[in-house]
Structures are given as structure tokens and as C-alpha cells.
Amino acid sequence: MELASRTSNPAFPTMLSGDIIREADEAHAYTTGRKTVGSPFVDNPRMTCRDVEVYYGEKCAINKISIDVDCNEVLAMIGPSGCGKSTFLRCLNRMNDTVPSCRVIGEIRLDNIDIYHPSIDVVPLRARVGMVFQKPNPFPKSIYDNVAYGPRIHGLTKNKAELDEIVETSIMKAGLWNEVKDRLQEPGTGLSGGQQQRLCIARAIAVSPEVILMDEPCSALDPIATAKVEELIAELRTQFSIVIVTHAMQQAARVSQRTAYFHLGDLIEVGPTDKIFTNPKHRLTEDYITGRFG
């Protein structure tokens, strides 16, 4: 697609340099400004976001965020409620298009293709960037039909046998196969909450996306189901890039390689997860992860 014309965007090359990181290093104690500190950029990114702004009507929900998503990493996004992390997540597969008053400015690239370019069709994009929601939302169909939904609408299979195989491998990857293999024709809504959420993950990976977005996928689950989903996330990382929004900082620490801290529409700090949790550079990050507010 017409990409060459887009590289003339002046923000793109300059932001790639390391001046943000240097600035953070020079600060002795904590940085307190609203500029991103840490290391938001990586060498071979799967997705790149530059100066992303989101407005709901006149209200600014996201203020000039720039961050990369690496291949085969789990990027956790944490922050207090209303800080814009879910809004930002929904920008990555253009789910915000369904909100009439929502406007997205800036540049988001998937494999170096601008996903907000007018020539981009949102339908194949969403097949490449899958999403798992906060509340498990299996369709009121059988378990099989839930997983087969994506392959069917995208015409990924030629016959029933291929479809069967995709369904089986997807459910296996989601770690649900042993629990549901004997009742694939039963309704997906009859499963327990944790099984439903893993079914939704199976449904998302059935269309072989490159990136999976997860919007607080465990907030409606009990601890055991949460542990299973977290285990699953760790396995999925070998094949997909995963961006996960979470309120549980323990969870971010357990599953992610990098963590981004959002605060009131600003991206405050990005860094390797162990650094963020042991040695945050920014005062706001420190306050949040030590529980001083949030």
C-alpha cells in the first residue's frame, strides 16, 4: 500500500532518536514532567505509535503518545482508572471507530503500514489485530461455532476438515481442549467465566492475528481462572505480540516483559517490567506502584 508518501511525516524520524531516554538518565532523583521517560521504542517493532491523540468530542482522552510494540512480547499497560489505557488499546485495532464522537490523530503503524490511512480497510486489519474484552463475551452459539466464526467470515478454510483443524488447534492453544472436546456443540455461554474467557481467546487466535489486544482480560475471573489465563498469555507470546491492559500490578509483573504507565491521558513511563516495578524513574510511576494513589 502507499506507504512511501507517509514517511514524510516529520514526527516520525525525530521521535526515533534516544533523546527521551537520555533526558531521563540525566535526572538524579525522579522526573516529574509529563514527557515519557524510559524506553518506549524497540529495534524491530511490530507496531509503532507516534504522537497519538484521541478526542471524545472536545475532550482529550489521549495526549501525544508514542510507543512501540515489539514482536513476541507482552506489553502491559497500567494506570489509574480513566487514564486512557483502554482507549489507547482500542486505537490499535480501530475499535474506536465504532464510537461516533471519537477522533484519533497521529500515526499508528502495523508492520510499517499506517492503519489509519484512508486506503486501509478496517476489516482485514481487525483480523490481524485481535482483541479480548474485559467481560467474556462468547457469542450465543456453540463452542465450535464461536471459534469457527472468524475463519468462516474470512473464508480461511476450503472445507470442513480444515475448519475442524483450525478450531481444534485454536482451542488447544487456548488450553481449553481437554475441558470442551466432548461438548463442542454445546453453547459457549454455558461455560464457566474462566472457560468463556479462554474461549474468547481461542476465538481471537483462530484467525491467526499478529497482535492480540487484551482489555483487562482477568478482571471478571476468579484467581484460579486468572492463573490459567496468565499461563496462556505466557505461552501465546511465542507466536503473537500481546498488549494487555490490567489493573492488577501483580499481573503486569507476572506476565509482561515491558510495562507502560499511563496517567490522565499521558504516557508517563515505559520500561522493562522488572525495572518499572523495582526502580521507577518517574515520581508518578513510583507513587502508583507503591500504592500511594490509584
Partner 1 sequence: MYSYLLPCILLFSTGAYYWGASRANSIAEASGGMRSLHSLPSHYGMLTALSSALPALLLFIIWQMVEDTIVTSLVAKSLPAELLQLSANELTLVLNEVKNVAFGGFGAHNTAPAIQTAADLYLSTRSWMRNLLGMGTIFCCLVPAVIAYRSINKDLRARNLVEGTVKIFLIACSTVAILTTLGIVLSVVFEALIFFQSVNFSDFLLGLQWSPQTAMRVDQAGSSGAFGAVPVFVGTLLIALIAMAVAIPIGLLAAIYLSEYASSRMRTWAKPMLEILAGIPTVVYGFFAALTVAPLIRDFGQSLGLQVSSESALAAGLVMGIMIIPFVSSLSDDVIHAVPQSMRDGSLALGATRFETIMLVIIPAALPGIVGSILLAVSRAIGETMIVVMAAGLSANLTFNPLEAVTTVTVQIVTLLVGDQEFDSPKTLAAFALGLLLFVFTLFLNFIALRVVRRYREQYE
Footprint of partner 1 on this chain (CB under 8 A)?
93, 95, 98, 100, 123-127, 130-131, 133, 135, 137-141, 149-150, 153-154, 187, 189, 200, 203-204, 207
Q: How far is the CB of 142 from partner 1 (least distance, A)?
A: 10
Q: Are strands 266-272 and 211-215 parallel, antiparallel or unpaired?
A: unpaired
Contact 146, 140 (CB under 8 A): no
Q: How far is the CB of 285 from partner 1 (least distance, A)?
A: 30
Q: Are strands 266-272 and 258-263 parallel, antiparallel or unpaired?
A: antiparallel
User: Nearer to partner 1 by C-beta: 25 or 162?
Assistant: 162
Q: How far is the CB of 197 from partner 1 (least distance, A)?
A: 12
User: CA dist 9 to 14, 31, 53, 107, 216, Å?
Assistant: 10, 29, 15, 9, 33
User: Nearer to partner 1 by C-beta: 71 or 125?
Assistant: 125
Rounded Cα distance between 243 and 260, Å, is: 10
User: Nearer to partner 1 by C-beta: 39 or 96?
Assistant: 96
User: Nearer to partner 1 by C-beta: 64 or 90?
Assistant: 90
Looking up cell 505509535, which residue turns up?
Answer: 49
| Selection from 173, 254, 241, 247 nearest residue 211 by Cα | 241
Contact 229, 197 (CB under 8 A): yes
List the grid coordinates of 79: 494506570
Rounded Cα distance between 44 and 149, Å, is: 32
Q: How far is the CB of 138 from partner 1 (least distance, A)?
A: 8
List the grid coordinates of 189: 455461554
Q: H or E element: which one contains 88?
A: helix 85-91
Q: How far is the CB of 126 from partner 1 (least distance, A)?
A: 4
User: Nearer to partner 1 by C-beta: 54 or 147?
Assistant: 147
Q: How far is the CB of 212 from partner 1 (least distance, A)?
A: 10
User: Nearer to partner 1 by C-beta: 34 or 94?
Assistant: 94
